[in-house]
Amino acid sequence: MEYMPNFQLHRPTSAEEAVKLRSEEPEALYVAGGTDMIVNVRRGIEQPENLIDLSGVTELKTITEDDEGLHIGAGITLNEIATNEKIKADYQAVAEAAAAVAGITHQQYGTLGGNLCLDTRCLFYNQSEWWRQSNDYCMKERGDICHVAPGGKRCFAAFSGDVAPAMLVYQAEVELVGPEGSRRIPLSEMYQNDGMNHLTFNPGELLTVVHLPKALAGSPSRYEKARIRGSIDFPLAGTAVRLEMDGKKVKDIAIALTGVNPFPQIVKGTEDYIGKAFDDASLDALRDNVRKQAKPMKTTTVAPWYRRRVIGALARRLTEELAG
């Protein structure tokens, strides 16, 4: 990985300045912690002529609270989220997911925004320049074909951020600032099912704040992932479950998945469980429903069938634990 393009580094001090720089250099890339981006630059996957370093933008590094809920700046580090008492108490899955990202050192400078905007990953994509070259590249980067599904026209690279599913079960919203001004959309609308282009950003937009609603504060939740190395790794499959019980009956439930599709996905059909009690048969049905909606492809060294089995088992286990 000795390769390093001759880019120019810009260090804006405000989000407005960053967006302005980006509109002047449309091909420029934003970089925050750089735990993933710098690796991709060095592997030649990204070949920027301009990098916009966001580490000096202090306005992105605040957590505030008001009647509406919690507002977390995109520049907050994952370790700050994992150790924040308020987040640990009110949005447990979010803190657990942040603590599950890579290793502790990465968490201390990797950011929330970086994890939510993480590029999709694939066995044939996250490789060195010479590796990809000798394999004729792939459609996500310079090539024409997909090695995961030859003959297909789609890219199946998997979204592998840990924090997104935990944010999704809390119906988080995100603030995007662009040259045309800012807009606020549900986090779920920030993603689409396309491994080549999984973010729905307009050109030049920057993720600045994530809003967690007060209405769901304290709603019990968990996050768990399967990975090859327990100490540091991307998820092979990960799931966040939020489950509120009213006695023995389900009051509210939401499940979201990561690592098994090109975008972090909310599991459909969970509203059917509301008002009912869980038993073995309905937990099995929930597990099978999760397995059906997870579509892992051969994007990791671990076989897709295993990841599909494990994601169902994780969702079932977390639901059973939360149901008590």
**Considering only residues 14, 58, 105, 193, which one is a binding residue for other proteins as defined by CB under 8 A?**
105
Longest distance between any two alpha carbons in the chain, whole Å: 61
**Considering only residues 17, 21, 55, 65, which one is a binding residue for other proteins as defined by CB under 8 A?**
55
Q: What is the DSSP letter of 1?
A: -
Q: Is 42 in the site for other proteins (CB under 8 A)?
A: yes
Q: What SS3 state is found at 268? A: coil
Q: Which residue has tokens 């045309």?
A: 180
**Considering only residues 14, 20, 24, 49, which one is a binding residue for other proteins as defined by CB under 8 A?**
49
Q: Which of 294, 248, 281, 302 is nearest to 122 (CA)?
A: 302
User: Phi/psi at 258 (nearest 5 deg)?
Assistant: -140, 160
Q: Is 88 in the site for other proteins (CB under 8 A)?
A: no
Span interacting with other proteins, options 7-15, 140-148, 249-257, 288-296, rule CB under 8 A? 7-15
Span interacting with other proteins, options 5-13, 15-23, 182-190, 238-246, rule CB under 8 A? 5-13
Q: Which of residues 197-226 bind other proteins (CB under 8 A)?
A: none
Q: Give the CA distances from residue 12 to residues 19, 55, 59, 109, in Å, rounded to whole numbers and listed in that order.
A: 9, 9, 11, 18
Q: Is 103 in the site for other proteins (CB under 8 A)?
A: yes
Q: Is 127 in the site for other proteins (CB under 8 A)?
A: no
**Considering only residues 26, 67, 85, 231, which one is a binding residue for other proteins as defined by CB under 8 A?**
231
Question: What's the one-letter identity of residue 126?
Answer: N
Number of residues that bind other proteins (CB under 8 A): 28
CB 88 within 8 A of CB 46: no
- Write b or e for each residue in 122-138: b if 16 or more Cβ atoms lie within 10 A of its Cβ, otherwise e: bbbbbbebeebeeeebb
Q: Which of residues 8-27 bind other proteins (CB under 8 A)?
A: 8-9, 11
Distance, in Å, from the CA atom of 138 to the CA atom of 314, rounded to the nearest integer, reads 32
Q: Work out how close the CB of 130 gets to other proteins at its nearest, in angstroms, rounded to a whole number.
A: 14
Q: Quick one: 153 or 229, whose CB is closer to other proteins?
A: 229
Q: What is the DSSP letter of 20?
A: H
Q: Is 274 in the site for other proteins (CB under 8 A)?
A: no
**Considering only residues 20, 24, 39, 246, which one is a binding residue for other proteins as defined by CB under 8 A?**
39
Q: Is 1 in the site for other proteins (CB under 8 A)?
A: yes
**CA quadruple 276, 278, 280, 286: dihedral sign:** positive
Q: Is 129 in the site for other proteins (CB under 8 A)?
A: no
Q: Which residue has tokens 């150790």?
A: 83
Q: Work out how close the CB of 152 gets to other proteins at its nearest, in angstroms, rounded to a whole number.
A: 29
Q: Is 228 in the site for other proteins (CB under 8 A)?
A: no
CB 52 within 8 A of CB 41: no
Q: Which residue has tokens 């990204």?
A: 46
Residues that bind other proteins (CB under 8 A): 1-2, 4-9, 11, 34-35, 38-39, 42, 49, 51, 53, 55-56, 102-106, 108-109, 231-232
